[in-house]
Amino acid sequence: MRIAMVGAGYVGLVSGACFADFGHDVICVELDKDKVERLKSGEMPIYEPGLATLVDANTKAGRLLFTTDIAAAVAGADVVFIAVGTPSRRGDGHADLSYVHIVARDIAHAISGFTVVVTKSTVPVGTGDDVERIMHETRPDADIVVASNPEFLREGAAIEDFKRPDRIVVGIEDERARAVMSEVYRPLYLNKAPIQFTSRRTAELIKYAANAFLAMKITFINEIADLCEVTGGNVQEVARGIGLDNRIGGKFLNAGPGFGGSCFPKDALALVKIGQDYGSPLRLVETTVSINDQRKRAMGRKVIKACAGDIRNKTIAVLGLTFKPNTDDMREAPSIAIIQSLHDAGARVRAYDPEGMQAARALLGDVTYGASAYEIAEGADCLVLVTEWNAFRSLDFGRLKGLMKTPTLVDLRNVYRRPEVEAHGFAYHSVGRPAADGTV
């Protein structure tokens, strides 16, 4: 099939490359001319494992093209995906749909013949209705069907998620879209990926509900971790104990510094606003958002406590800046609030991240960046593990002790076991796991 993907950001680029790899002819539309030229030359605007190879292979095969010409791309397409950004709107937290509305008009002007227009961007319930109305107002004669097809991609594992999804959700109001979308995803039938066809509004809600539920699960185990710290329990054992119940499951039960990224914070807040607008408040989600914001700063206080309550003029070395491993995404990363709280308490901060330092420089002031964990640890009073990159899972603590002024590790991801760290003379602090004497 001929597919136009409007928006070559994270979702659009990964989706477009994967559709092309399925054998479809895909044109990704991006208004940024420089970005298009970089993509044509093989330069990826984001870090995602395997993406550069996938884009290169399908570009060379002629199945994946990049352009700034939305009219040309849409005119020849059977399916047009809208994959533009829907960031939180300044001031009120609602999803900003201005880009969606703009491209809806542009698409309507360019459509030729029967076309299925699919919102892949994460959008509030009812957005498909708005897109359909805008398009019909722009082109009353156009034969357009609007569908919803939310994405469920994890940064760092997006290609695998796209090709072997848990489910594919498609919201339709016109049965003609069912046949088209079934053909788009036909290559996944061999993997037995379930396709759930729903109403359009239901599909829009599924995306928000899924992200909000996972965010609540993370927040729940973080609060249990706090309780473990004051009662002497071990949050990892609690998580395993409840996760073995298949009604609960073990995923998203790793205690840490709170959730971040491009989806959970934005989508949870947007769902809160949707509930308020419809007079059906979502109190659990509201509380989740509030607790998560507070937790990031609380991790800064945890570091201060590990340094005897005073970090003024001390050097804190931070390992990991991105909100999760295998991405360069700094959006809503816990490291931002943690580092700010360390600065507020008078500390000097050094940091290292395998992929996120370029993005971090635009967000974090007065931070000294290093080329490795060992470089930033030299002369440091405390080492703080914020993001669990594989490069940080086998640190040489003997070497680190020789480099640091004070051998103290605050492990906010519970990567290490206390005995192995303390054996090298370190003071060790984790999340929700007590020491033998009952302290943390």
Give me the catalytic one of 28, 228, 263, 382.
Answer: 263
Per the document, the length of the chain is 440
Distances from the Cα of 120 to the Cα of 19, 21, 272, 360, 421, angstroms: 13, 18, 21, 28, 45
Going by C-alpha positions, the residue among 130, 175, 167 that lies closest to residue 149 is 167
Whether 263 is catalytic is yes
Residue for token pair 């807040």:
269
Burial bucket for residue 99 (CB in 10 Å: 0-12, 13-18, 19+): middle
Instruction: Give residues with Cβ within 8 angstroms of 198, minimum separation 6.
Output: 169, 170, 171, 172, 206
Active-site annotation, residues: 263
